């Protein structure tokens, strides 16, 4: 009996302990359930929503680029592309890519590049496989979707240049984001997103990009989109209006043809660049669709340099187009008067060296206007010797030679204007007197870009410190406009001195015997003034001078002289300035001058037809000696 009682007590005690344990566990479970379902409910609700709702970034439309009259130069077109998302390929992006390669053409090199891009990016970021798909290719891919895990057709936009190659070097082009590009914008992670790589597209890339939007889509457990829940559009990129005249740009491009050449046309009062052409050019649309290896090799191996914007990056000896600078330096220093004559016998001596005029036998006695008209080398040798290299240097810098002009376009080169200090610091040798003479005719160390030559002509014609620019205004989505600068300071050069040089340039084109008289504009109201230039690219030996100097057409193309011409028009009331450089074109009077004539005539006719020529500021007559 006693033992039975002890067992009963022991059982009761164990049951109580067990029950207490169960009660504790039940309380903990209830507490945990309360914590998860009540306290943590908002967090789990958010997590569930995040699994159900996928937020995707939407690329904004890239801003348009238009000419001064609103004609479209760069726009967007619909683009069908196929993309692959690595995390949706069941861990086998290569398999999906191989299957896709049986439907559309994908080279082994392209596959390696795509797989490298997939590894570089996060697994949920889509990677573009092919763009600009045809309807047939889209249909084939859609039909085979079950066999292509992780792939899908994406509809986006691609850049299109309606004018093709005519403005390629100014507009530049867009291309895919690379590892070297700064990842400062989430948009750069989007498949197929393109950024400006050169030209205006690069300069204003951030403004042209716009701001991305977002799309909230509901997805199922497999990640397939069920419906779009919410959409917020981004802001489209700004519209960039350029100073270019698309019609004039096309005309200049066609006029240069396939020559290795460059041309610039400016409004001398506003600094507007109405046309800037580098030839030969390229089609920027080809960079959007993707260049083949052969196309790229053809571009980079072409000796005429189609990828180089010669207007701002081509550096050439200015030849006789530099002579106006020497004349202005001499007038300012007072080493010669406009009417004072210098005798040209065809050559002159300096020490043991002989310096030749381009005209065998010489020009006889010439004054300053006549020296410009006949482009007499001996005259400018002599006044260069009198004025000295440093004063020539200073005048050249004032007129835009030897320094970047400040144009709003990437890739501008500075050219070169030598001085005594420059030679000593760069070459380690003192300046020689003979170097001053050859600088006086725009040879030697002097280098200028076609843009600088157009700026020089603009400043001589206007007397103002004209600064070129390409951007007329930028209009954002909220309508804000950024106007370009239109007011320029005086150069501080005597009006009378400028008038003498302008008269010399007028004699070049409008007086019989002038080096470009045959290329004059015959309509008096459109008459131009200008200066020819022929820059040697080889040294003529004494033996050749003693016998016969070979003509340009007797030489290989790469040894022929460069042909140059600068001019402004109309002469009586200047409005436009232009420069043309034709690489290895031979004589400036025969090759470059007719091109500038046609360009300036077209520019005046186009603006006159719109009534703008009549609104050009009138020249104000200044007192004798006024700066």
Instruction: Tell me the pLDDT tens digit for each residue of 336-391.
Output: 999 999 999 999 999 889 999 999 899 999 999 999 999 999 999 999 999 999 99
pLDDT of 525: 94
Amino acid 291: pLDDT:
73
Catalytic site residue 320? yes
Instruction: Answer yes or no: same fold for 55-242 and 246-615.
Output: no
Other residues' Cβ atoms within 10 Å of the Cβ of residue 434: 16
Segments of the chain scoring below 70 in pLDDT? 1-11, 13, 36, 40-56, 182-183, 215-230, 484, 486, 538, 540-550, 552-554, 557, 612-627
How far apart are alpha carbons 89 and 223 in whole angstroms?
12
In degrees and rounded to multiples of 5, residue 79 shows phi and psi of: -140, 125
> Cα separations (Å) of 380 from 242, 290, 323, 505, 510?
39, 52, 7, 15, 21
Q: pLDDT over 70 for what percent of the chain?
A: 85
The pLDDT assigned to 65 comes to: 97
Mean pLDDT estimate for the chain: 86
Reply yes or no: is the peptide bond before residue 322 cis, omega within 30 of 0.
Answer: no
Which region holds residue 406: left if phi is over 0, alpha if psi is between -120 and 50, else beta? left
Class of domain 55-242: alpha beta
pLDDT for 486: 67
**Structure tokens belonging to residue 208:** 């042209």
Query: Tokens 């046609």 map to which residue?
Result: 598
- In this prediction, residue 79 carries a pLDDT of 81
Which tokens in the block code for residue 149?
């895990």
Helix (H) or strand (E) holding 310: helix 310-313
Cis peptide before 570 (omega within 30 of 0): yes
The backbone region for 512, taken as left when phi is positive above 0, alpha when psi lies in -120 to 50, beta otherwise, is beta
Label the pairing between strands 471-475 and 213-219.
Answer: unpaired
What are the structure tokens assigned to 477, written together? 């989505």
Nearest Cα residue to 407 out of 199, 567, 570, 613: 199
Consecutive H or E run containing 398 = helix 389-398
**Each residue of 547-568: pLDDT tens digit?**
666 676 667 767 788 999 999 9
Q: How far is CA 595 from CA 255, 512, 571, in A?
A: 7, 19, 17
- Cα angle vertex 303, ends 301, 305, to 5°? 85
Backbone phi, psi, residue 503, to 5°: -65, -40
CB 260 within 8 Å of CB 284: no
Q: Domain 246-615 has what CATH class?
A: alpha beta
SS (H, E, C) 314-326: CCECCHHHHHHHH
Neighbours of 8 (CB within 10 A): 10
CB 282 within 8 A of CB 198: no
- 32, exposed or middle or buried, with CB in 10 Å at 0-12, 13-18, 19+? exposed
Cβ burial of 308 (10 Å; 0-12, 13-18, 19+) is middle
Domain ranges of the chain: 2-39, 55-242, 246-615
Cβ atoms of 60 and 213 closer than 8 Å: yes
Helix (H, G, I), strand (E, B) or coil at 365: strand
pLDDT confidence of residue 9: 62
Q: Which of 278, 320, 458, 519 is catalytic?
A: 320
Q: For residue 621, what pLDDT is reported?
A: 41
* Secondary structure element (H or E) that encloses residue 9, with its range: helix 2-34
The SS3 of residue 53 is strand
Look at residue 5 in the predicted model and tell me its pLDDT: 63
């Amino acid at each position: 009996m006693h033992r039975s009682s002890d067992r009963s007590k022991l059982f009761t005690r164990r049951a109580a302990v067990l029950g207490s344990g169960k009660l504790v566990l039940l309380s903990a479970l209830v507490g945990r359930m309360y914590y998860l379902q009540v306290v943590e409910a908002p967090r789990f609700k958010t997590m569930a929503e995040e699994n159900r709702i996928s937020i995707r970034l939407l690329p904004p439309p890239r801003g348009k680029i238009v000419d001064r009259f609103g004609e479209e130069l760069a726009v967007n077109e619909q683009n069908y592309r196929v993309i692959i998302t690595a995390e949706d390929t069941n861990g086998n992006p290569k398999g999906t890519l191989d299957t896709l390669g049986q439907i559309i053409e994908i080279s082994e090199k392209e596959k390696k590049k795509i797989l490298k891009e997939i590894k570089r990016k996060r697994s949920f970021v889509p990677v573009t496989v092919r763009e600009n798909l045809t309807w047939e290719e889209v249909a084939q891919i859609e039909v085979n979707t079950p066999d292509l895990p992780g792939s899908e057709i994406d509809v986006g936009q691609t850049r299109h240049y309606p004018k093709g190659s005519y403005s390629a070097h100014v507009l530049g082009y867009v291309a895919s984001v690379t590892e070297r590009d700064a990842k400062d914008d989430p948009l750069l992670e989007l498949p197929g997103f393109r950024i400006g790589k050169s030209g205006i597209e690069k300069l204003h890339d951030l403004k042209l990009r716009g701001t991305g939007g977002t799309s909230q889509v509901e997805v199922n457990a497999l990640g397939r989109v069920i419906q779009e829940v919410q959409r917020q559009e981004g802001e489209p990129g700004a519209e960039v209006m350029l100073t270019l005249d698309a019609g004039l740009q096309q005309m200049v491009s066609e006029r240069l043809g396939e020559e290795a050449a460059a041309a610039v046309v400016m409004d001398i009062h506003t600094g507007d660049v109405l046309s800037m052409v580098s030839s030969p050019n390229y089609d920027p649309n080809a960079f959007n669709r993707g260049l083949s290896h052969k196309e790229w090799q053809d571009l980079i191996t072409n000796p005429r340099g189609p990828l180089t914007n010669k207007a701002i990056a081509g550096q050439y000896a200015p030849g006789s187009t530099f002579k106006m600078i020497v004349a202005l330096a001499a007038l300012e220093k007072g080493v010669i008067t406009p009417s004072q004559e210098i005798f040209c016998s065809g050559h002159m001596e300096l020490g043991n060296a002989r310096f030749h005029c381009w005209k065998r036998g010489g020009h006889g006695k010439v004054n300053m206007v006549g020296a410009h008209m006949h482009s007499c080398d001996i005259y400018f040798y002599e006044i260069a010797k009198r004025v000295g290299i440093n004063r020539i240097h200073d005048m050249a810098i004032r007129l835009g030679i030897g320094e970047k002009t400040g144009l709003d376009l990437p890739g501008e080169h500075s050219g070169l204007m030598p001085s005594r200090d420059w030679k000593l610091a760069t070459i380690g040798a003192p300046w020689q007197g003979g170097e001053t003479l050859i600088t006086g005719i725009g040879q030697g160390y002097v280098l200028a870009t076609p843009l600088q030559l157009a700026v020089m002509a603009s400043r001589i014609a206007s007397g103002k410190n004209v600064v070129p620019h390409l951007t007329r205004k930028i209009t954002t989505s909220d309508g804000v406009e950024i106007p370009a600068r239109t007011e320029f300071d005086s150069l501080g050069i005597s009006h009378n001195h400028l008038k003498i040089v302008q008269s010399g340039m007028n004699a070049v084109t409008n007086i019989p015997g002038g080096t470009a008289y045959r290329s004059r504009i015959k309509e008096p109201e459109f008459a131009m003034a200008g200066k020819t230039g022929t820059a040697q690219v080889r040294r003529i030996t004494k033996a050749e001078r003693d016998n016969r100097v070979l003509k340009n057409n007797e030489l290989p193309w790469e040894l022929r002289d460069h042909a140059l011409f600068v001019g402004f028009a109309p002469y009586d009331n200047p409005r436009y300035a232009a420069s043309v450089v034709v690489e290895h074109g031979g004589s400036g009077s025969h090759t470059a001058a007719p091109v500038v004539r046609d360009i300036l005539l077209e520019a005046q006719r186009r603006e006159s037809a719109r009534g703008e020529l009549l609104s050009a500021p009138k020249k104000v007559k200044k007192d004798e000696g006024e700066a």
